[in-house]
A and B are shown apart, each in its own frame.
Chain A
Amino acid sequence: MTQSNTLLPNLYTTMKRIRTFEERVGELFIKGETAGTMLHLSIGEELGPTCLGAAMQKQDTFTTHHRGHGIFIARGGDPKKMMAEIAGKKDGYCKGKGGSMHIADMKLGHLGANAIVGGGIPTVVGAGLSSKYLEEDKVSVAFFGDGAMQQGILYESMNMASLWKLPVVFCCINNQYGMGTKIDNAAGLKDFSKRAASFGLNTLHIDDLDIENAYVKSKEIIDKARKFEPGFIEVECYRFFGHARMDKSPYRSEEEEIKMRKSDPISYASNQMLKNKIMNEDEIKKINEKISIEMDEAMDFAINSPLNNQKEIFTDVYDESEPLPISVEERINKILS
């Protein structure tokens, strides 16, 4: 395959890996093997994380929102360690102490997922400041949802990035819903790029399923950020399922869901590959099967990963050179002795 012929299959593969991973997370939940129900799946939202993930460079850093599994996979996250984290197990990226919403990996530049809407956005401003100060050529990207577009911290952060000309990109994955509230009932101005442009950022609005084009355009924004022109990207998509595992979506109609699920970035990419004869059905099937096996293995790995030792409650609060917090049991026993 030529260079241009490898791009779409690569992007397709990442999107399919994200989708299959999320499906397995759903299965893991049904099996009762996840730590809690705070699982926010990004099925239907694969395009944005995939094209930005591909457009970023190896050294770049990022933060994500609570619906961030896909972004991490697109940046090289190991499905086994991710799944183990989601299961709250010892082999997880954060020893199971962070879980789905606080997954992070400093080696891959993942500065942390965040369970506070907008909470991880100023982190990338600081990372951009470090990158510029230390001359490291790292772009830092904040991924967040449309909910965060209504949080004040985003605007403080965009202003700082613009003011200090930082290598930073703000990326809004707009899935149309802030939990159960439709964007129409949350945003005074839905043209988010206009808001970002008013801060002096380069902007990009992606609202179709052509991922190759989205990749090229995103890369332009990221490349400009590397030259200290911060940017903003909005990717419109649709959250195919509920907010979290317990959500049965009473706030939207089945008709809407059926209609919107037809805008599927994965089917679209697969059809494009067939139409342009980049791959045939057998080849696509092979990719899918390989991914299916990979994600099954990740799920098994999580299920079989050992539980943490109880002492992990107390570790990692402070630097390892500092004393551990005193347990309540130790305190009480000392009083009673």
Chain B
Amino acid sequence: MSDLNKNYYEKITFRDALRLAIHDSMQEDEKIIVMGEDVAAYGGAYGATKDLLKLFGPKRIIDTPISEAAIVGASMGAALTGLRPIAELMYVDFFGMSMDQIANQLAKVRYMFGGQINAPMILRAQGGTGRSAGAQHSQSLETWIMHTPGLYLSIPYTPNDAYHLLRAALKINNPTIFIEHKLLYNTSGVLDKNNPDQIFGKAKIRKKGKDLSIISYSRMVNFAEKAAEELAKQKIDVEVVDLRTLNPLDRETIIESVNKTKRALVLSESCYTAGVPSEITSIIFEHCYTNLLKPVIRYTAEDTPAPVAPNLEENYIPTIEKIVEYSKKLCK
């Protein structure tokens, strides 16, 4: 990231797009601080805050003790009293340590206090499988957050979305949970600072199609795109919907897409039972019922903890081969 001030990047990593979003926002707004474990001297466990300490100093880029509950709680306290913190938890799994502060405090302060105050902050965390990180460092816990009113939830797939969704979340007065898939940090793509590509809360059709809607978010959009390429060779025209934010959830785009294609596969790395895909499936059933030609398929991770063994982990989550297989069966 040699040149911070360009408006257009032909090729930038997801990691650097996030870093740039934090950087640009901090330059504009002195009230923004970053706090979390190893965010300063280390540059963030996955590099999203690298060099920010040099640029903004220890007053604004704050290393914290390993105290996840207090990181969230103190960030909220700072947000209630004039700052706009970006808190980082190294792994989304650590929500387990801080869920009281996330769900009982942060999500509810505005409501409980009758709208007197906002807690404008972002809580970033890394989610998902793919590094044999084990059952306590590989979860997809977006369902926990989506089931908690009061929290906005961003879960981007592309560098452009990572940049613009983070920037947008820092301008909204709600607390936003920002979940980044661990295998996306090194992926790269275009970043156009002048093109936010629709507003916060809008899904993005990654590929238009007429035979089947694959509805997904985060890294699984990549699987959907690859499966769609394969299916195109077999004359099946898939529409790929990237939800981008789960709250707000762009129900209209989901419904519109499925009413057009009449078939749907909901793809996610969360567990099968009572997860985000269950909710999306319900919406499709409620609103596309008379148009559906086949039952909606939820293709997700298994209802088990994540295994470490790479050959198990790989098949614990959806595979491109099976997306293709299920899609073909749906379109028969």
Contact = CB atoms under 8 A, between A and B. Distances in A.
Interface stretch (A12-20, A41-49, A71-79, A129-137): A129-137
B104 A318 contact: no
B149 A133 contact: no
A324 to B, nearest CB: 11
Q: Which of A102, A125, A152, A159 lies at the interface centre, i.e. has the most chain B CB atoms within 10 A of its CB?
A: A125
A157 interface: yes
A319 B118 contact: yes
A149 to B, nearest CB: 16
B183 interface: no
A129 B111 contact: no
Interface string A117-159: 0011111111111110110101010000000000011001101
Interface stretch (B19-27, B76-84, B128-136, B231-239): B76-84
B56 to A, nearest CB: 12
B112 to A, nearest CB: 4
A322 B172 contact: yes
Contacts of A119: 73, 100-101, 104-105
A208 to B, nearest CB: 32
Interface in A60-115: 61, 92-98, 102, 104-106, 111-112, 114
B286 A156 contact: no
Contact of A104 (B85, B112, B152): B112
A210 interface: no
A126 B67 contact: no
B117 A122 contact: no
Contacts of B287: 334-335
A317 interface: yes
B38 to A, nearest CB: 15
A299 to B, nearest CB: 21
A320 interface: yes
Contacts of A335: 286-287
Interface in B57-72: 59, 62, 64-65, 67, 69-70, 72
How many A residues are at the interface, by size bracket? Answer: 35 or more
B147 to A, nearest CB: 13
Contacts of A319: 110, 118, 172-174
B114 A92 contact: yes
Interface in A4-36: none
Given A94-B112, A320-B115, A111 B73 contact: no
Contacts of B152: 318
Contacts of B70: 122, 125, 153, 156-157, 159-160
Interface-central residue, A320, A321, A322, by most chain B CB under 10 Å:
A322
B102 to A, nearest CB: 11
B73 A126 contact: yes
B74 A157 contact: yes
A35 to B, nearest CB: 13
A140 B83 CA distance: 15
Contacts of B172: 319, 321-322
Interface of A: 61, 92-98, 102, 104-106, 111-112, 114, 116, 119-131, 133-134, 136, 138, 140, 152-153, 156-157, 159-160, 163-164, 315-323, 325, 331, 334-335
Given A97-B113, A126-B81, A130-B78, 4 more contacts: A97-B112, A98-B113, A98-B114, A111-B80
Interface of B: 33, 59, 62, 64-65, 67, 69-70, 72-83, 85, 100-101, 104-105, 109-118, 149-150, 152, 172-174, 248, 286-287
Can you list the 10 inter-chain pairs with the closest CB atoms, starting with the nearest? A126-B77, A122-B73, A94-B114, A316-B115, A156-B70, A156-B67, A126-B78, A123-B77, A319-B173, A130-B81
6 contacts: A102-B112, A122-B74, A122-B101, A133-B83, A319-B110, A321-B172
